[in-house]
Amino acid sequence: MSTRQRLSALALDTPAPAIAAFVLVALLPLFGLAGHWQQQLALIAIYTLICSGLNLSFGYAGELALGQVAVFASGAYISAILYQHGFTDILGGFAVAVCLAAVTGLLTGIPGLRLSRWALALVSFFYVLLVPELLKLFESETGGTAGLAGILAPTFFGWPLGTTGFYVVAVVVTLLWMLLQRNLIVSRFGQFLRILSASPTLTESLGGSVYRLRVQAYVIGALPAGLAGVLYTYLTGFVSPEAFTLHLLIALLAATVVGGAASVWGAPVGAAILVLGPLQLKSFEEYSTLAYGVFLVVIGTAFSGGLAGLARKLRDRVLPRPGPQGAGDGESAADLSIPGTRMVVAGVEKSFAGLRALSGVDLTVEPGTIAAIIGPNGAGKTTLLNLVSGLLPADTGRVELAGRELTGLRAHQVSRLGVGRTFQTPVDLGSMSVLEVVESGRFRKGNLGSLSAILRLPKYHRVREADRKAAVAALSFAGLEHAAAQDAASLPLGTRRLLEVVRSVAGEPSVLLLDEPAAGLDDSELRELGMLMRRIRDAGGTVVLVEHNVPFVMDVADQVFAMELGRVIAAGPPEVVRRDQRVIDSYLGRRGRREPADHELDPRTT
């Protein structure tokens, strides 16, 4: 590895630069940092914590969750109340505030997330509006509108913390949280959040429960706001409802977006701008809400990745991403097991508001074969795939995989039982690399392991290593290992379609459902796709292909099911189905008295 590559790996794969920066900031008092500046930097640490929580739920999971300020208030008040009852230990305050934040997150998140994305935004928004009313309701403990004053320095294991001691605690706690969050973001859980913000459907089909992921992201995102509340109380020595307003919420949202909502290290940058930036000037005070709003719109549209996104682009130019270890070092098709199983669809029916999309479909696909489903537009092919993969419930009938009934299961449960699938349009996964995309195909195997990821337990390293090896093997299986380090979004459409198949292969599916993988591919890409599918079949896979490109189907399929108006009208080997009079009539409009050419069986050309 060259020095440049080593530097690149250090900057991209470890938090070393950020740790160094935080340690330097923590040591600043040794170099004479004045008390006023210690307070300013502690305030940045506090806002960093809140912004990092917003990053998790809003930036990564794509939920507009606005309850952070309310959780911040609950942390601040609980530590003030504890102080007034003689519990001055800051660590005790953190522990209670984090528990309260988790409960608050669950109570506000569960009802909001059950409904829809906007419901969460509304529930959490009202929660912020409720804060002053709640504080008034419990006036005897909270001091009502007057608040609670006279909160002096906290203690740390019995020792009173002076200004500098408090400053160091604030910086260290913020760094520790950021490291935990960073560990989470680079884990399966974090990758799932990135996929979730791009496509909930894809998330489910990769084995992730969208609802659980959303709740987890929201609740975990609430925790640092609780910590921030405790620090805020001891920083100001005073808490009142006026500190936890909508105005603060908008300012924090602006800081999060400016720093980079989907970036761990964007939070301190945004928080620093919030505390030290021009909007703090007295002349801006009156217009600050307006200014933050304009800031949000401009930065949100012009630089959606925020300053961290710009920095990432610059860094990628200076220090190119190193290729993955293991790529090209002999991982081969032999390392991949694709244990296909028998899939049975029996008597499946589905109607949409009176329209019969499927009327009693029966089909069986054996392992080690490619079964193609063809038919004109609206025949019910995609509906059938959606039923098998659990994205739609069947009205009647059953789907079985190796004798195990899938009917009635949710998409992520079906995926976890071994059903892999691709979609007609590949989802754009932002800045995910090709290798990361393929690794995500493994997520349905085993659990997310968030705790072992956060704490970097040996299990995390084992799972990560296994994911990486399987992903590299799947890429070399398809001859794509050279692209491992590239941004997936930068690949041409044909390669992205292949990548979708490779991602499913990495998850060692029992059955692989491919929805129009050949659409838009040129001849050489079609050849590559055909070769890949044959290799999957020869490795033992069960492949179900929905496709309009009939010449391609006739070339790769072992068995063809022709559908029309929600029914299977012919089934058998390709050469039999293409001569079937009902299939000819279906495609040629009952005019056909001759055997059609393959291109005439393609609805795009008839």
Ligand X SMILES: Nc1ncnc2c1ncn2[C@@H]1O[C@H](COP(=O)(O)OP(=O)(O)OP(=O)(O)O)[C@@H](O)[C@H]1O
CB of 355 to ligand X, least distance (A): 6
CB of 423 to ligand X, least distance (A): 11
Q: How far is CA 571 from the centre of its chain?
A: 40
**Could you give the CA distance from residue 356 to residue 305 in angstroms, rounded to a whole number?**
44
Compute φ and ψ for 455, nearest 5 degrees: -90, 5
Cβ proximity to ligand X, 28 vs 519, nearer residue: 519
Cβ proximity to ligand X, 287 vs 352, nearer residue: 352
CB of 602 to ligand X, least distance (A): 11
Cβ proximity to ligand X, 143 vs 380, nearer residue: 380
Cβ proximity to ligand X, 356 vs 535, nearer residue: 356
CB of 167 to ligand X, least distance (A): 57
According to the binding rule CB under 6 A, does residue 517 interact with ligand X? no
Six-digit token string for 319: 């220090």
CB of 350 to ligand X, least distance (A): 8
CB of 171 to ligand X, least distance (A): 52
Residue 553 CB partners (closer than 8 Å, separation 6+) = 372, 374, 545, 547, 560, 574
Cβ proximity to ligand X, 326 vs 380, nearer residue: 380
Element (H, E) at 348: strand 343-352
Cβ proximity to ligand X, 369 vs 425, nearer residue: 425
What do you get for the CA distance between the two ends of the chain, in Å? 56
CB 204 within 8 A of CB 391: yes
Q: Where are the alpha helices (DSSP H) in 138-162?
A: 139-142
Cβ proximity to ligand X, 525 vs 564, nearer residue: 564
**Could you give the CA distance from residue 3 to residue 231 in angstroms, rounded to a whole number?**
41
**Could you give the CA distance from residue 216 to residue 375 in angstroms, rounded to a whole number?**
42
Give the largest CA-CA distance in the chain.
95
Element (H, E) at 536: helix 523-538
CB of 375 to ligand X, least distance (A): 5
Q: Where are the alpha helices (DSSP H) in 397-457?
A: 411-416, 434-440, 450-454
Q: Which of residues 372-431 bind ligand X (CB under 6 A)?
A: 375, 377-383
Cβ proximity to ligand X, 209 vs 425, nearer residue: 425
CB of 586 to ligand X, least distance (A): 12
**Could you give the CA distance from residue 393 to residue 386 in angstroms, rounded to a whole number?**
8
Q: Which of residues 185-204 bind ligand X (CB under 6 A)?
A: none
CB of 351 to ligand X, least distance (A): 9
Site string for ligand X, 338-357 (x = CB under 6 A): --------------x--x-x
Query: Which contacts (CB < 8 Å, 24+ apart) does range 585-589 have?
Result: 586/375, 586/376, 586/562, 587/376
Q: How many residues bind ligand X (CB under 6 A)?
A: 11
CB of 377 to ligand X, least distance (A): 4
CB 105 within 8 A of CB 221: yes
Cβ proximity to ligand X, 58 vs 561, nearer residue: 561
The alpha-carbon radius of gyration of the chain (Å, integer) is 28
Cβ proximity to ligand X, 5 vs 424, nearer residue: 424
Site string for ligand X, 298-337 (x = CB under 6 A): ----------------------------------------
Q: Which of residues 67-96 bind ligand X (CB under 6 A)?
A: none
331: amino acid identity, one letter: E
Footprint on this chain of ligand X (rule: CB under 6 A) = 352, 355, 357, 375, 377-383
